[in-house]
Amino acid sequence: MKRRQFIRNAALTGAGLAIGKTLTGCADTPSEEKKEATMKTKTQNTPIAICTWGFANANAKAGEELSKGVKALDAAISGVEVEEENLKNTTVGKGGAPDREGNVTLDACVMDSNGDCGSVLCVENITNVAELAKRVMTETPHVILASKGAEEFAYRQGFEKDQLLTDASKKAWEKWLESPEYKPLINIENHDTIGMLCMDKDGDIAGACTTSGLSYKMKGRVGDSPIIGSGLFIDNEIGGAVATGMGEEVLKTVGSFLIVELMRNGMSPQDACVEAVNRITSKNDRYKDFQIAYIAINKAGETGSYCIHKGFTYMKYQDGKNENVHSDYFDKA
Ligand code: ASP
């Protein structure tokens, strides 16, 4: 086992045990029944792709790749690239909204079914940052590269320098500067971080998450999306989860890791997403002002989603069908 993989495994095992203790009140491993259920589902191999929001083209792309036999991580990356390259999407990739000083800075991470992962933070001038995160995973001894270091690494890997600030994003930013108030909107219809989870024909699960972050954020701000465990987490024996919404709140509860650990302890993807949202709303009176949404998949191919406020939808591709699903939500008042 490579040294960095060993270190990562050790850290995750430690964190997993700690959370298992909190959840169950004792340090017991999951019951024999639960273990058996997990084992039974290991042969499941229906290709499935799910992604945050209504990114139909991106999800269809990933689903089609999976149907051709492409592995989960590569399918997820080719799916999210559709949005990274979509100039009309103002919260992902090229065309993304800038920070308050006019710099478009992108964040992304990927996690593979063998537990390996890569991440890039605050990267300028590179469009396909999910692929760049994969290169950090496969071509460096590290997990995270940030800012200029990530950008220089991208050029060494053959990525081209791109102009990420489009005329439309620049105009919107200039308008915002007229009365600058930092107030992220609760739901920006179908235009937000894309987080994608794929299960391939071998039943292996992997995921990718990519974003330009919250519009008009402070220079240097990084949210949950590129942080393994917060924006995305995969454990191929159990399942995976991704987040979208107010990154600061996801970071405080390590939401995606929490969901996978809840599933490890026997919860369905749906119940695990509900519990992860409850962890936030129960401690934070300000939840009325922000949106958080999670989607999750388990090894049996069951999926789930939950969010704070009405309006979040996600895409689900299975058996050649690509559907937009309305998520249940917490704030019914
Ligand atoms: N989670 C992202 C961030 O905080 C933004 C989003 O999903 O809308 O950067």
Q: Average pLDDT of each block of 10 consecutive residues along the chain (333 residues)?
A: 40 37 37 51 75 97 98 98 96 95 98 98 98 98 98 98 96 92 65 91 98 95 98 98 96 98 98 98 91 97 97 96 98 89
Helix (H) or strand (E) holding 197: strand 194-199
Q: How far is the CA of 169 from the centre of ligand 1 (A)?
A: 17
Q: Is 193 a catalytic residue?
A: yes
| Kind of pairing between the strands at 328-329 and 303-307 | parallel
Nearest alpha carbon to residue 304 among 225, 197, 190 = 197
Give the three-state DSSP class for 165.
Answer: coil
pLDDT at 8: 39
Q: Say if CB 61 and CB 78 are below 8 A apart.
A: yes
> Is the torsion defined by CA of 193, 62, 238, 135 positive or negative?
negative
CB atoms within 10 A of CB 116: 19
Q: How far is the CA of 264 from the centre of ligand 1 (A)?
A: 26
CB 192 near ligand 1, within 6 Å: yes
Amino acid at 28: D
Q: How far is the CA of 27 from the centre of ligand 1 (A)?
A: 33
CB 229 near ligand 1, within 6 Å: no
Q: How far is the CA of 295 from the centre of ligand 1 (A)?
A: 14
CB 119 near ligand 1, within 6 Å: no
Alpha-carbon dihedral 30, 32, 38, 43, rounded to 10 degrees: 150
Q: How far is the CA of 308 from the centre of ligand 1 (A)?
A: 14
Q: Say if CB 298 and CB 173 are below 8 A apart.
A: no
By the 10 Å C-beta count (0-12 exposed, 13-18 middle, 19+ buried), 130 is classed as buried
Say which of 90, 91, 127, 193 is annotated catalytic: 193
pLDDT at 184: 73
CB atoms within 10 A of CB 26: 7
pLDDT at 181: 79
Which residues have C-beta within 8 Å of that of residue 107, sequence separation ≥ 6?
119, 120, 121, 122, 123, 129, 210, 211, 212, 213, 222, 223, 225, 226
Looking from the CA of residue 217, the nearest atom of ligand 1 is 9
Residues facing residue 243 across a β-bridge: 294
Nearest alpha carbon to residue 198 among 79, 114, 287 = 79
pLDDT at 183: 74
Alpha-carbon dihedral 160, 163, 168, 171, rounded to 10 degrees: 160
CB atoms within 10 A of CB 317: 25
pLDDT at 333: 83
Tell if the pTM clears 0.85, that is, is over it.
yes
Our mutation pick for probing the ligand 1 site, out of 214, 222, 308, counting the most ligand atoms within 8 A of Cβ, is: 214
Alpha carbon nearest to ligand 1 atom 8, residue: 245
Alpha carbon nearest to ligand 1 atom 4, residue: 247
